[in-house]
Amino acid sequence: MLIARRLLALALSLTAVTAAAAEPLPTPAGDFALKATLRDGGSLDLMRLGDRMRVEMLPKASPAMVVGLLDLKAAKMVLMVPSMPKMAVQMELPPEYNFASLKGSGVRTGTSEVAGEPCDLWKIDATASSHGTGPTLACITEDGIALRTEMDIQGKQQVIYEVTSVTRGPQDPRQFMVPPGVQTVKLPKSAVAAMPGLAPFVSGLGQ
């Protein structure tokens, strides 16, 4: 009985230590703009203004740039492509597009540097990962900018997104609005992913 009690006490103490090690992930403290490379070799330009992001993505498999206007608070995204200059498509925000503003909790595992910026390495549980699987390893600055995210995909650690340059400061609010004269159509994510012009953008950061 005494041994059992000691083992139970040890288990509880280890659980408490593990729980205490987890911390909320840093969130962006201000507005910024950055450039990054994607897992498929494509490029990405991102601007952030409060809870809104503008993403200009050119996946390697896509012939043209696609623009996404993201509302992180409402979990909505509007997509615009050159092949549909007078129309935009609104859909629910795929979980992949939280990559630059990770949510949840994680454990600090060290420090690193990306694009000349110091950042802390965070190991994020699958439930807290923006991609829904894990574990995810992210390098996040003190002011909450995710400079690199890596994920274990089929047993291999892969870089999903890595920043090449970042600039902090106010952003132009007009860049986060649908241009005048463009009609917005609401479609389910499944329908958007099936459209040839939009599928590379929707899956560009996915697995």
Lowest mean pLDDT among 48-52, 126-130, 153-157: 126-130
Helix (H, G, I), strand (E, B) or coil at 12: helix
Question: Is 2's pLDDT higher than 60?
Answer: no
Question: Would you tell me which CATH number, out of the four given (2.50.20.30, 3.40.50.280, 3.30.70.100, 3.40.50.2300), belongs to the domain 32-203?
Answer: 2.50.20.30
Q: What is the mean pLDDT of residues 136-146?
A: 93
Residue of 18 and 107 predicted with greater confidence:
107
Determine the average pLDDT of the residues in 55-78: 87
Ordered by start, the domain boundaries in the chain are 32-203
**Mean pLDDT of the 35-52 span:** 92
Instruction: Please state which of the ranges 41-55, 111-125, 146-160 shows the lowest mean pLDDT.
Output: 146-160
Q: What's the gap between Cα 120 and its chain centre?
A: 16
pLDDT at 73 over 80: yes
Only one residue has tokens 């950055």, namely 34
| Residue range 102-106: mean pLDDT, rounded | 85
- Write down the pTM of the prediction: 0.78
Give me the pLDDT at residue 126, please. 56
Length of the chain: 207
The span from the CA of 9 to the CA of 163, in Å, is: 45
User: Does position 7 have pLDDT exceeding 50, yes or no?
Assistant: no
Instruction: State how far the Cα of 16 lies from the Cα of 148, in Å rounded to an integer.
Output: 30
